[in-house]
């Protein structure tokens, strides 16, 4: 079943590994993509959403104006939490080829064994179509279950458990999302990936939970993607390959 706390610590280990000399250059592009997208997210939240909510609250009677200070923080938190998922999916879709290379270098650092691949521009051009296809495979797995959770959210009484279900599902998907990079470097089929992650379920959920929480924290979410790639690779080497 695994160890939840141990899994959660791998994100921090991944963050520490990013400072390793010789590895930083493989972090630059994923980090830049993530920073750009989350900067856009913050800008959108602070402008469009805020003004829309101001307009909505402005239609309330004056004696209900105090609701602004109740509704605004809660609304922004929920929106930030859900938007982080969407932007993370987009960021991984764009950065997937670079994340694969980063996972390869972290694995080499952890094991001392070099994967048989060319790390130059030729390799990057060759893996782009495969990486994108792999990301879409994850989306096909992800979207139907998200729709089921969305329906659960709309059902009275049952929707009480919806926030917990969303969090657990998000943690599970983050584990699959990031463990996929080192496993895909070894030509592991997506169905085998899901089975492997399930064998260490608590470890996987611990790691995924730490990623979900980090994604909802402004500024910290800039560096989550490369840190999660590195952390998931270390977790795969130390836990899943045993």
pLDDT tens digits for 196-213?
Answer: 899 999 999 999 999 999
Given a contact cutoff of 8 angstroms between Cβ atoms, the answer to whether 12 and 231 are in contact is yes
Separation CA 17–CA 112 (nearest Å): 14
Separation CA 22–CA 109 (nearest Å): 10
pLDDT tens digits for 110-143?
Answer: 888 876 655 555 555 566 667 777 877 888 888 8
Using the predicted structure, report yes or no on whether residue 214 has a pLDDT greater than 70: yes
- The pLDDT of 157-182, averaged and rounded, is 86
**pLDDT at res. 116:** 61
**pLDDT at res. 216:** 80
List the end-to-end C-alpha distance of the chain, in Å, as a whole number.
Answer: 14
pLDDT band at 35 (very low <50, low <70, confident <90, very high): confident
Given a contact cutoff of 8 angstroms between Cβ atoms, the answer to whether 239 and 203 are in contact is yes
Using the predicted structure, report yes or no on whether residue 16 has a pLDDT greater than 90: yes
Using the predicted structure, report yes or no on whether residue 78 has a pLDDT greater than 70: no
pLDDT band at 26 (very low <50, low <70, confident <90, very high): confident
Separation CA 174–CA 176 (nearest Å): 5
**pLDDT at res. 12:** 96
**Count of residues in the chain:** 242
pLDDT band at 55 (very low <50, low <70, confident <90, very high): low
Q: Which helix (H) or strand (E) holds 45?
A: none
**pLDDT at res. 222:** 79
Q: Which residue has the tokens 């790691």?
A: 207
pLDDT band at 149 (very low <50, low <70, confident <90, very high): confident
List, as one string, the DSSP characters of 60-128: S-GGGGGGHHHHHHHHHHHHHHHHHHHHHHHHHHHHHHHHHHHHHHHHHHHHS---SS--SHHHHHHHH
pLDDT band at 152 (very low <50, low <70, confident <90, very high): confident
**pLDDT at res. 208:** 95
**pLDDT at res. 19:** 86
Summary mean pLDDT of the chain: 79
Using the predicted structure, report yes or no on whether residue 10 has a pLDDT greater than 80: yes
Dihedral sign of CA atoms 102, 103, 108, 113 in order: negative
Given a contact cutoff of 8 angstroms between Cβ atoms, the answer to whether 113 and 105 are in contact is no
Given a contact cutoff of 8 angstroms between Cβ atoms, the answer to whether 152 and 164 are in contact is no
Phi and psi at 196, nearest 5°, equal -65, -45
- Six-digit token string for 183: 């496993």
pLDDT band at 31 (very low <50, low <70, confident <90, very high): confident
- DSSP conformational letter for 223: S
Using the predicted structure, report yes or no on whether residue 63 has a pLDDT greater than 70: no
- The pLDDT of 56-72, averaged and rounded, is 62
**pLDDT at res. 75:** 59
């Amino acid at each position: 079943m695994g160890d939840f706390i141990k899994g959660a610590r791998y994100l921090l280990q991944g963050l520490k590994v990013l400072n390793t000399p010789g590895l930083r250059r493989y972090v630059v592009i994923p980090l830049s993509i993530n920073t750009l997208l989350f900067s856009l997210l913050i800008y959108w939240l602070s402008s469009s959403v805020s003004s829309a909510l101001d307009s909505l609250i402005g239609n309330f009677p004056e004696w209900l104006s105090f609701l602004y200070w109740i509704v605004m923080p809660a609304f922004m938190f929920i929106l930030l939490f859900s938007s982080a998922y969407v932007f993370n999916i987009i960021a991984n879709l764009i950065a997937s080829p670079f994340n694969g290379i980063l996972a390869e270098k972290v694995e080499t650092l952890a094991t001392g064994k070099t994967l048989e691949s060319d790390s130059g521009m030729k390799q990057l051009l060759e893996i782009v179509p495969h990486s994108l296809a792999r990301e879409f495979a994850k989306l096909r797995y992800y979207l139907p279950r998200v729709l089921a959770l969305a329906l659960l959210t709309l059902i009275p009484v049952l929707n009480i458990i919806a926030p917990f279900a969303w969090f657990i599902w998000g943690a599970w998907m983050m584990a699959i999302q990031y463990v996929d990079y080192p496993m895909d470097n070894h030509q592991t089929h997506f169905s085998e990936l899901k089975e492997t992650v399930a064998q260490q379920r608590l470890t996987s959920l611990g790691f995924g939970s730490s990623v979900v929480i980090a994604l909802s924290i402004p500024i910290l979410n800039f560096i989550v993607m490369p840190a999660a790639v590195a952390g998931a690779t270390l977790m795969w080497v130390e836990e899943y390959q045993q």
